[in-house]
Amino acid sequence: MANPLKDATGLAEIKRYFGITDTSKDAILNAYLDKAWDALKTIFVQNLERAARTIKKRWQGELITLPDVPVAASPAPTVKIDGETWTEFDVLDNGIIQINEMERYSNPQFVEVTYTGGPVTLPEDIRHVGIEIAVILAKAESDVGDGRLGLTSISLADGSVGFIEQTLSPISKRIVAAHRRRV
C-alpha cells in the first residue's frame, strides 16, 4: 500500500497546522508524512497494510487465529498440516480458521496458513495519529516548525519512536493503547 497519509488531505492538514498556503514546503512535508508512516508501522503491533502473509506454528487445536484481519476471500486461504495441503476448513469471523475432519489425521505437529489479510484502508483514528506524528516531526525542524524541540533529524532505527510516542497528545496516546489491547 502506498503511504495513505500522503494524499491531498494529509498534506492539506499538515499545511493548515503550519499556516502554509503555497507549495514551497510540499516536498519536505511529504517527507515528514513518509517518516510518520514508518513510525506508525513501528508503533502499532498489527499490520497496517493488506498483504499476503504466511504463519507457521505448532499445532494447538482446530481453531487458528490469524493475526491480520480482515481476511480476504480472494485469494482463498490455504492450509497445510505437517506439510500436507488441507482443504477441510472454514474461515470464521474475526480471522479464525476452523479445521474440520481432524479425525482423519492423528497427532498433527505443525500448521501453516497462507492468506491475504490486513486493512484495505487505514483506520481513521490511526490516520489521525499519523498526521500528528508528521506535525511533531516537522515542528522539530527549524526549516518548517519553530525548532523548539531542538532536533534536526529523527531516526526510527535508534529508538526515536519512544520520543514520538511520549510527545503524542492524550487522545493519540489513547488510540495507540486501544489498538495495542486489540491485538
Q: Which of 67, 86, 117 is the last residue of a domain?
A: 117
pTM, to two decimals: 0.64
**Could you list the residue range(s) of the whole structural domain that residue 64 is in?**
51-117
| pLDDT tens per residue across span 111-129 | 999 999 887 788 889 899 9
In a domain, 3, yes or no: no
Based on the domain organization, do 43 and 71 belong to the same domain? no
Residue 112 near residue 80 (C-beta atoms within 8 A): yes
Q: What is the DSSP secondary structure assignment for residue 104, as one 8-state letter?
A: G
| pLDDT tens per residue across span 168-179 | 889 988 888 887
Of the candidates 127, 173, 169, the residue with the CA atom closest to the CA atom of residue 13: 127
Q: Which of 95, 117, 139 is the last residue of a domain?
A: 117
Domain total of the chain: 2
Based on the domain organization, do 41 and 127 belong to the same domain? yes
| pLDDT tens per residue across span 53-91 | 999 999 999 999 998 888 988 899 999 999 999 999 999
Whether 149 has a pLDDT exceeding 70, the answer reads no
What is each CA distance from 11 to 65, 103, 152, 162, 174, in whole angstroms?
37, 56, 21, 24, 24
